[in-house]
Each structure stands twice: as C-alpha cells, then as structure tokens.
Chain A
Amino acid sequence: MILRKSCIILLSLLLLSGCWDSEELQDLSIITAAAIDLVEDDKIQISVQIFIPRAITTGQTGEDPSAGSTFIREGTGDSLAEAVSKLQSNVPRVLFWGQCKIFIMGNELAKKGIQKEVDYLLRHPAPRGFSYIYVSEEKAREILMLVPPLERYSGEALRKLSTHESGIDTTLIDVDTHLMGESQAVALPLVKPLFSPEKARQENETIPTITGTAIFKKNKMVGQLNMEQTRGLMWLLRKIKRSTLSIKPEGYNEEIIMMPTIGKIKFKPLIEKGRWIMNVDLDIRGDIVQNETKMNLFNEQVIERLQNEFEAVLKERVSQTIKKLQHEFHSDPIDFGRRFHQKYPEEWKKVKNQWDEKFSEVDVKIHVDATIRTPGDIGPPAAFPNDEVVK
C-alpha cells in the first residue's frame, strides 16, 4: 500500500511539474506586427515589431516615454521560413506570435506574388489565421518604424483603423478563401505613413494610414484603387460606415454633404438568353451634415431632389469601381463569381475556367435608393440672412 501510494506521488511529481512547452513571460519576445519584404537577390526579409514590456511602466523608472515601446528586428532568407529562423537568432528570447495580428506585405512582394508567404503563415501553428493583412505602398518595413503619437505602437494604430472600417479589412483566412474560391481574386488595404505637417517630437512620429486598395488576382497584385474607388469597393463589400457622400446640386457650385448611417446592398445575379447580368441594389439612408448652398433643406421638394442626386452620385461611384475592376484589372474581388455559382451552378461550370474574361462581360445594373432621414439639426443654411435663402 505504501509502495503504491509513493508510486502515485512520484508519478504525479513527474507529470504535474510542467511540460516541455512551458514558456515564461520573461523568456518571450512578443511580436505586435510583422512586415514581409522582397529584398535583393529575390530574398525574403521579415521584420517584426517587438514589444518592450518594461516601457509601459516608464513613470517609475524614469525612462524617456517618447522612446517608444517597441523595437524592430529583421531576418533575411530564401524563404519566409528561413527568414523567420534567422530572425530568431537575432532575438535572444523566443518569438511569440500569439499577439501579432498585423502582417504587412511589401509592394515588391505583392507584385511578385504572396502565395508562398501566405502558405507559411497559415501552415505554421503560431501565427493567427484571422490576423489582418496589408500591402504597403513602399517597403513594408517602414510602416513598422513609425511611432504613433497616441497609440503604443504602429501595429495597434493600424488595427484600430481596420476595426473602425476606414478601409477594407482582410484577414489571412479571407485571402485563402478568396484566392482558392471562384474568382481567385482578393482586395487588400494599401497602407502608407501619414504625412503630418506638424513638427513631430521625433523622426517617424506619425501613424500608418490606409490610402487605397491593392487588387490581387491569382496571388499577384494587379492594380491599385485610390481612396475614392476604395469607397465604391467598400460599398460592394458591405463595409461602409464612415465615409461621406457629397453632391453639387444642379445650378449650384457648392456642395451638400451626407453621412450615410445605414447602407444595405443586395446582389441579384441573372442569366438571360446567354447574357450575364448582375443587379446591384443599394439602399442607403443618411443625414445631411453640411449644406454649403443657399437652399433651404426644410422643404420636401428639395429633399426629394437631393435624394435623386445622391442616388446618381453613389451609382457613379460604385459603377466606376466596378468598371475599373472589370476592364482594367479583370479581377473579381467582389465575389460576383461566387454569387453566379450559387444561383446558376450548371452555367457556372461552363465558364469556370474563363471567369476572367466572362467577368469583364458581365452586365452590371446598379439601382440606388437613397433616403435622407433628417436634414440635420437645422433646416435653412446657418449664419445666413433668412431673406436670401432660396426657398
């Protein structure tokens, strides 16, 4: 009996004392963001932003708070995996990927193709499948070097921009699903350091900002959309929240600006006599936030007229984006392919292999229904003599 008990105690001592994978916090280097670039001789360079835990408690230790709470290390190799292992030898602590939710691809790499790198990120168990991916307008590494004035590090600034829907947000899994899916195309946000004219306390003190969209086809970047077209794309991807819509009413040189609050979009694919038609129905509601004209918005006819003009503007904006995708990039990140496949599985099988060509031929019909909920808090133009207001 005593023997048995001591055996059990001995076994528990062996088994409960911990395991091979125990990693203490002081032995980890926590990665907050990573940038992947193509450098000379087609080598891959990975730069990671590593969090310095002691920097948060600067108050007591008397360190300079503006020194930043992160530092950057890099590794270079023929493949991403090799680059990461080189990187590990440049960092004394074990790399910890669990908190890394930002991956930035360099411009050169995006043009060459990101498939091999995405494979590593999805295959290796440590990086998270649902981290956000970006494409940098220049070298991706430069984004990491920025020191944001408000956030603790540039990765966090980027993540907040993405969650607030200032641009599109695409995760690693999204990239995988889209590039293996029907259209084999995906849209990634394009980032670049924000130029701030104020005199910064130090070099690089600014945040990264989203300046457009990189359009990928079969894992290569084939083109870029500017911010205006990106807004059109965001409508198509159902991600609009924070962008204003402005019109110049007929006969005026000034603008009236609306802030959409609710936006809905419906796609209705249709194949009629061999013609592929995509009906895009947009339903948008919003409030007027600025009126530069002399029009009195406290007037039903004016509101009616403005609604029509907003409809025309939004239609133009969305159709421009679609045109660009159809005729310039021949790439379908807006999932028309999937929608046709879902409704017309038989017809889809025939065009599956030539979807690029077929996508350009799809007839897109956009119908917009805009409603102005309120003209804002005031009706007539503010700070303006009442008798000069156009009724």
Chain B
Amino acid sequence: MVEKGRITAPQTEFIMIPTIIGTAILSIPSIDAKFAGHDMWMTPILGSLIGFLTVYIVWRLHELYPMQTPIEYSERIIGKAAGRVFGLLLTLFYIHNSGIIVREYSSFISTNVMTDTPIIIFSITILFVSALAVRGGLEVIARTAIICTTLFMSSSVVLLLLIKDIKLGYLLPFLENGLLPVMKGTLIHNSWFSEFFLLAFIFPYINNQKNGLKSGLRASLIVMFILLYVNFFVLTAIGTSAANLFYPVYAIIRSITVYNFFENFEVLITASWVLGNFVKISVFLYAASLSLAQLFRFSSYKIIVFPLSVLVFIFSYWDLPNLVVKVNYISTIQPFYLLTIQTIIPLFLLGIALIKRKRSEST
C-alpha cells in the first residue's frame, strides 16, 4: 500500500470544499456573467448535478473495488494495457491541471495584490509548501485542511456586509434568452464539479467507510451553496458588468465599506484565498504523485513529490501565456476536457465493471 495514512469522513469534506471553490471563486463569476447574464445566479444549482453524479460514480467504483485507486482498478476493469493507458492519461491530466491551478492562483495574486513581484515567485512558494504537505501524506493534508478550510470559509461571511448595497432588480428579467445561456454557464460549473473525482484517491483511506458517500454528497451540496451565494452577490452588487471584470468577487469585496470605517476587506480575503488554494494545489499534487507512483509500482510516492512539483511548475509557466488565453481555455476547452476525463470515462468504467460483476455472478 502506497498511502499509509487514514483520515475520517468529515475530514474529506474539509479537503474537498476548498478543492472545488479555491479557483472557482476566482474564475467562474466573470465567465458566468458573460454567458448567463441575468440568470447567472442559478447556474451552480444545475452545475452541481454533475458533482452529485461524479461522487456517486466514484463511490460505486470504490464499493466494487475497495481499498484501490482508479489507477489500480482501471487495470482490472478494462484489462492491463487499456487500464495502464488510462492510468497514464489520468496522471498526466492531474499534472497538467495542477499546473493550470497554480497559474490561476499566481496570476490572481500578481495582477491584483503584488503587481511588481514576478509571477513565478508565487508559483514556486505555493508549490513548495504544497509539496511539503503532500510529502507528509494524506493525514497531513487533512489536518492542515481543517485549519485552512475553516479560515477560508469563514472569510466569505464578509460578503454579507454588501446586503445594504445590493439591487435585487438585477435578477430580472428571468430567463430572458431561454435556457441556452444558463446551460452554457452551467457547463463552466460542471467542469469544476467534476473535480469531485479526486475523491477516488481519498475514499480508500477513510476510517469509517460507510460515511464516505454521505460526506462526498454533503461536500458537493456545500460547494453548490457557496457558489450560489457568491454568484448572487456578484450579480446583485454590480449586475452584468461583472462580465467585464476578470475578478468580480474581488471587485465587490473591495467595495465594502461599513460606516466609512471598516474598509479594505480584500486584504483579509486574499489571505484566506491563499489558504484555500494551498489545499487545492496540495490535493491535486497528491493525486498526481499517488497515481504516478502506483502506475510505476513505486513503494512510496513521497520521493517523487518534489520532482513532480518542478514539472507542475513548468506546466504552470508554459501552458497559459496570459489571462486572456486562460479565460478562453476555461470557457471553451476546460468543460469538455475535465468532464470527459473525470466524469464520462469513469461512468463507462463503472458500466463495464457492473456488467462484469453481473456476469461473474451468473456463471
């Protein structure tokens, strides 16, 4: 067994929530406003359906092959050669995606907060800390996630201070151009919600196995509510002009003033977002290292964490030259890319596994 740590079911929720929201809060609202306009508030509700579906697929696969990760059971489901190809695909996918997340995080910090600092500094520092956490194992990630997630989530209370400034009129007209724009916005959410597939690397190491599904679904529900809450405030505070801003959530938080005295909440929020993204990057790096180790039958994944972070860093630096390309990637390529690998292929795997199971029972 490559991973020796054991975590509890509630800890998985603490791990998964920032893993979805971490970058979603940065990138989604602006693209959502562009696609869905006045109806952007409802997109997370439809988007979360993919979240529930993915959690369920992962759970069923886990029930059929307990104590195994996708790298191991894919070989048993679709044969050795095809399984290993899928494993390689998954490994590369998580390395690539970690790179994109690191880039999303660093370009946010460098365009908004520390404009003079080179972007690679943020990438290197966050990757270094995350790599240390991943080397510590899943238990360390889980324990740091409890602290980081609590701080990350509690900072979102700040948005409530906007209640006096919101205009509910911006929610109208309801479904002006039909459902199509909403579906486009939903697709963006889908790509984030499909990241619940990461649970496949966590479920085998839960203490009390029967609570796994419940906490997975609960995490998905909480993520939906947070995104709903954020989208609602973005829309009612600045309307559809959110589409013009790259970071609308940051913009509305900058606008909060209470009696002209409590201001500049963005400092607090940025600090908490760093914590959230730290958890996100740790989980992705963990998934990448674990799958690479299992793919090549290493006895431990700890030795490859640092080399892998270097690779992730290179991906973060090369793949997305600037913010415009990033937004384009998120709104056109990413939904299909992430959904295919994290939801659709596992769905097929589950189908084949169930048929196999039935056949072996009947014979």
Enumerate chain A interface residues (CB-CB to B < 8 A): 11, 15, 19-21, 98, 122, 125, 128-130, 159, 163, 171, 173, 176-177, 180-181, 338-339, 341-343, 345
The count of chain B contact residues (Cβ–Cβ below 8 Å) is: 26
Enumerate chain B interface residues (CB-CB to A < 8 A): 111-118, 121, 125, 128, 169, 172-173, 176, 238-241, 244, 251, 254-255, 257, 260, 264
* Contact, CB under 8 Å: B251 / A19: no
* Contact, CB under 8 Å: B114 / A20: yes
* Contact, CB under 8 Å: A177 / B239: yes
Q: Can you list 24 pairs linking A and B with CB atoms under 8 Å apart?
A: A11-B128, A15-B128, A19-B114, A19-B117, A19-B121, A20-B116, A20-B117, A21-B113, A21-B116, A21-B117, A122-B244, A125-B115, A129-B251, A130-B255, A171-B255, A173-B241, A177-B238, A177-B241, A180-B244, A181-B239, A338-B169, A341-B173, A343-B172, A343-B173
- The minimal Cβ–Cβ distance linking B29 to chain A, given in whole angstroms, is 15
Taking A338-B169, A345-B173 as contacts, is the C-beta distance between A173 and B264 under 8 angstroms?
no
* Contact, CB under 8 Å: B244 / A176: yes
- The minimal Cβ–Cβ distance linking B67 to chain A, given in whole angstroms, is 33
Q: Which residues of B contact A177 (CB under 8 A)?
A: 238-239, 241
Tell me the bound Cα distance from A129 to B252 in angstroms. Answer: 9
Tell me the bound Cα distance from A379 to B264 in angstroms. Answer: 50
* Contact, CB under 8 Å: A130 / B125: no
- The minimal Cβ–Cβ distance linking B239 to chain A, given in whole angstroms, is 5
DSSP majority for the A interface?
helix
Taking A130-B255, A173-B255 as contacts, is the C-beta distance between A20 and B241 under 8 angstroms?
no
Taking A98-B264, A345-B176 as contacts, is the C-beta distance between A173 and B117 under 8 angstroms?
no
The residue of chain B having its C-beta at the shortest distance from the C-beta of A340 within the complex is B173
Partner of A129 from B111, B116, B128, B254 at Cβ < 8 Å: B254
Q: Which residues of A contact B239 (CB under 8 A)?
A: 177, 181
- The minimal Cβ–Cβ distance linking A84 to chain B, given in whole angstroms, is 14
Taking A177-B239, A180-B241 as contacts, is the C-beta distance between A342 and B114 under 8 angstroms?
no
* Contact, CB under 8 Å: A20 / B173: no
Q: Which residues of B contact A19 (CB under 8 A)?
A: 114, 117, 121
- The minimal Cβ–Cβ distance linking B249 to chain A, given in whole angstroms, is 13
- The minimal Cβ–Cβ distance linking B137 to chain A, given in whole angstroms, is 18
Q: Residue among A11, A19, A98 with the most chain B CB within 10 A? A: A19
- The minimal Cβ–Cβ distance linking A169 to chain B, given in whole angstroms, is 12
* Contact, CB under 8 Å: A129 / B255: yes
The residue of chain A having its C-beta at the shortest distance from the C-beta of B264 within the complex is A98
Q: A122-B244, A177-B241, A342-B169 are in contact. List 13 more A-B contacts (CB 8 A).
A: A11-B128, A15-B128, A19-B114, A19-B121, A20-B116, A20-B117, A20-B118, A21-B117, A125-B111, A125-B112, A173-B251, A177-B239, A338-B169
Tell me the bound Cα distance from A163 to B258 in angstroms. Answer: 12
Q: Which residues of A contact B111 (CB under 8 A)?
A: 125
The 10 A-B residue pairs with the shortest CB-CB distance, nearest first, are A342-B172, A130-B255, A20-B117, A21-B114, A345-B173, A177-B241, A345-B176, A20-B116, A342-B173, A21-B116
- The minimal Cβ–Cβ distance linking A5 to chain B, given in whole angstroms, is 14
Tell me the bound Cα distance from A52 to B112 in angstroms. Answer: 27
Partner of A173 from B173, B238, B260 at Cβ < 8 Å: B238
- The minimal Cβ–Cβ distance linking A285 to chain B, given in whole angstroms, is 21
Q: Which residues of A contact B125 (CB under 8 A)?
A: 15
- The minimal Cβ–Cβ distance linking A38 to chain B, given in whole angstroms, is 25
- The minimal Cβ–Cβ distance linking B264 to chain A, given in whole angstroms, is 7
- The minimal Cβ–Cβ distance linking A135 to chain B, given in whole angstroms, is 21
Tell me the bound Cα distance from A126 to B239 in angstroms. Answer: 22
Tell me the bound Cα distance from A327 to B304 in angstroms. Answer: 73
- The minimal Cβ–Cβ distance linking B222 to chain A, given in whole angstroms, is 30
Tell me the bound Cα distance from A206 to B360 in angstroms. Answer: 92
- The minimal Cβ–Cβ distance linking B270 to chain A, given in whole angstroms, is 12
Q: Which residues of A contact B173 (CB under 8 A)?
A: 341-343, 345
Q: Residue among A21, A173, A181 with the most chain B CB within 10 A? A: A173
* Contact, CB under 8 Å: A21 / B115: yes
Q: Residue among B115, B176, B241, B254 with the most chain A CB within 10 A? A: B241
The residue of chain B having its C-beta at the shortest distance from the C-beta of A128 within the complex is B254
- The minimal Cβ–Cβ distance linking A182 to chain B, given in whole angstroms, is 10
The residue of chain B having its C-beta at the shortest distance from the C-beta of A8 within the complex is B132
- The minimal Cβ–Cβ distance linking B358 to chain A, given in whole angstroms, is 51
Q: Which residues of A contact B176 (CB under 8 A)?
A: 345
Tell me the bound Cα distance from A210 to B10 in angstroms. Answer: 57
- The minimal Cβ–Cβ distance linking A262 to chain B, given in whole angstroms, is 17
The residue of chain B having its C-beta at the shortest distance from the C-beta of A335 within the complex is B169
* Contact, CB under 8 Å: B254 / A130: yes
Q: Which residues of B contact A128 (CB under 8 A)?
A: 254-255
Tell me the bound Cα distance from A15 to B126 in angstroms. Answer: 11
Q: Which residues of B contact A125 (CB under 8 A)?
A: 111-112, 115
Q: Which residues of B contact A343 (CB under 8 A)?
A: 172-173
Tell me the bound Cα distance from A11 to B111 in angstroms. Answer: 25
Q: Which residues of B contact A171 (CB under 8 A)?
A: 255
- The minimal Cβ–Cβ distance linking A141 to chain B, given in whole angstroms, is 25
- The minimal Cβ–Cβ distance linking B14 to chain A, given in whole angstroms, is 26
Tell me the bound Cα distance from A177 to B176 in angstroms. Answer: 19
- The minimal Cβ–Cβ distance linking A273 to chain B, given in whole angstroms, is 21
Tell me the bound Cα distance from A19 to B106 in angstroms. Answer: 14
* Contact, CB under 8 Å: B241 / A176: yes
The residue of chain A having its C-beta at the shortest distance from the C-beta of B177 within the complex is A345
- The minimal Cβ–Cβ distance linking B111 to chain A, given in whole angstroms, is 7
Tell me the bound Cα distance from A176 to B205 in angstroms. Answer: 51
Q: Which residues of B contact A345 (CB under 8 A)?
A: 173, 176
- The minimal Cβ–Cβ distance linking A228 to chain B, given in whole angstroms, is 27
Q: Which residues of A contact B169 (CB under 8 A)?
A: 338-339, 342
Tell me the bound Cα distance from A31 to B128 in angstroms. Answer: 38
Q: Which residues of B contact A20 (CB under 8 A)?
A: 114, 116-118, 121
- The minimal Cβ–Cβ distance linking B261 to chain A, given in whole angstroms, is 12
- The minimal Cβ–Cβ distance linking A30 to chain B, given in whole angstroms, is 14
Tell me the bound Cα distance from A66 to B241 in angstroms. Answer: 44
Q: Which residues of B contact A342 (CB under 8 A)?
A: 169, 172-173
